[in-house]
Every structure is written in C-alpha cells, then in structure tokens.
Amino acid sequence: MLLQDKVVVVSGVGPGLGRAIAVQSARAGADVVLASRTESRLVEVAKEVTELGRRAVVVPTDINDEAAVTNLVETAGSAFGRVDTLVNNAFAIPPITDLATVDLDDVRAGFETNVLAALRLTRLFVPALAESKGSVVMINSAVLRHSRRTFGPYKMAKASLLALAQSLATELGPEGIRVNSVAPGYIWADNLKWYFNYLAEQRGITSEEVYAETAATIDLRKLPEPDEIADAVVFFASQLARAITGSCLDVNAGEYHH
C-alpha cells in the first residue's frame, strides 16, 4: 500500500495506460481523480477503482481549456481536501512526418496539448502539491532515445516535455514538490495490438509472429504491459522515491539503454 490514503490526479484517462495508472494507484491505496474528454470512459475506470475499495471522482476535462482545467483543480480539492500526485498522461499524436516538410501549425497543435497543457495543469496544482509535499509525474516516451525519420515532431514535443519536467523539478523543489518522468517504449495495449494485427494481415503472417519478431529485439524478450509502466508511476508517487526528482525512468523492457 505505497500510496495509502493519498490522492492521485490522472489526466488523459483512456483504456490503456491512463486506466492502468488509475487502477494501480488505487491498488496501492490511493483515491483518484480521473480527467479526460470522454466521460463514459472515466465512468468505467471509476467503477474499477471503487471495486478496489477506493474513491474515484470523474471530471470530464479538455486540458487545453483553461476554465475546464481550473474546474478540475477545484473539484479535486473540494472532493478530497488534498492532492498528493499529479500524473500528466494526456497526449495528442503529433504529425508523423519529416521535419523538413511538416506543417508548422500541426507542430504547434501538438505542443499545445503535449507540453503547454502539462505546464498549465501543473502550475494550477502547485499550491495543493506544495501543501502535501507531493509530486508530479510526466508520461514521456522512448522517442527520446532515437531519431528515426518521421518521428521528428514527436521527439521535439517529448524532448520539450522532458526539459519542462527537469526545469520544474528545480523550480518546485524548494517547495517540497518532486517532478519526474516515465518514458515507456512499446505498450502492449489495444492500439498496439490493432497495429500488429494490421501488420500481420499486410504480410500474411500471424500477429503472434509480429510480436515475436519485435520482442526478439528487446532484452527481456517481451513488450511492457500498461500495469508494468503504471507501477513505475506509483513508485515515483510513493515515499520510496522521496529523494528522487528531475529523473526520467525508461520502462521499455530493455529496448533502449540510457
């Protein structure tokens, strides 16, 4: 029960990693505040949390909307009277194309959600986090570790998010707030399963063979599942990480070393 009676706010709650972060936090003893644009999805995850004996508050939120984010902060405070950890998990896929030809407006749109919205949300939660001597966890990506073609706009956004986390760690440290990042690689959830099925159909093989080919290039010969990445978030939120700030933890089963 690493998070016994703590309160964790999770943005970008979807069926994959966002859900896993919320559920694993509840398993560790936390109550959770669930935020995303799709209310029906939030309700489903909230039901899982309450079945674990913890409390959940559903707050439909567009994190690019200042009023909606302010409402999220106020609702979290009024519901639980405290916030111990903010997990910035909300994400918008940047254009997957070369930097030499990408539309700059599309790049700006990606930065708005992936970087500036995380900054906005974090700033609004600073008073509550300072009171609890809490923490922030940014969900980053293994795209930090490579420079493959067409991933330039994606890497730009995530590299900026890493810089944001490190700078906030320095600025907020004197208030007792820790800021860390988790960088997953592959996440074996619905989106990736769909993609592997698509690749399998294109090549006339099974999705199991696509998985095996991919896993063969990774040290642990497996693709991380959402719960395994969520456990790293729980670690950063817990007292086990009380002297860790400004760090980025790769959770990729050994796909990349850093």
Query: What whole-number distance in Å separates Cα of residue 135 and Cα of residue 8?
Result: 10
3-state secondary structure of 11: strand
Longest dimension (CA), the chain: 57
What are the CA-CA distances from residue 121 to residues 47, 162, 165, 250, 258 (Å)?
A: 25, 16, 13, 23, 28
3-state secondary structure of 184: strand
Order of strands, edge to edge, in the sheet holding 31-36? 56-60, 31-36, 7-11, 85-88, 135-139, 178-184, 248-251
Q: Which of 154, 186, 195, 211 is catalytic?
A: 154
Question: At residue 85, what are phi and psi to the nearest 5 degrees?
Answer: -145, 135
Instruction: Using CA atoms of 20, 22, 27, 29 in order, give the dihedral in degrees to the nearest 10.
Output: 160
Whose CA is closest to 254, among 212, 215, 218, 206? 218
- Rounded to a whole number of angstroms, the distance between the first and last alpha carbons of the chain is 30
Is 198 among the catalytic positions?
no
Residues belonging to the active site? 154
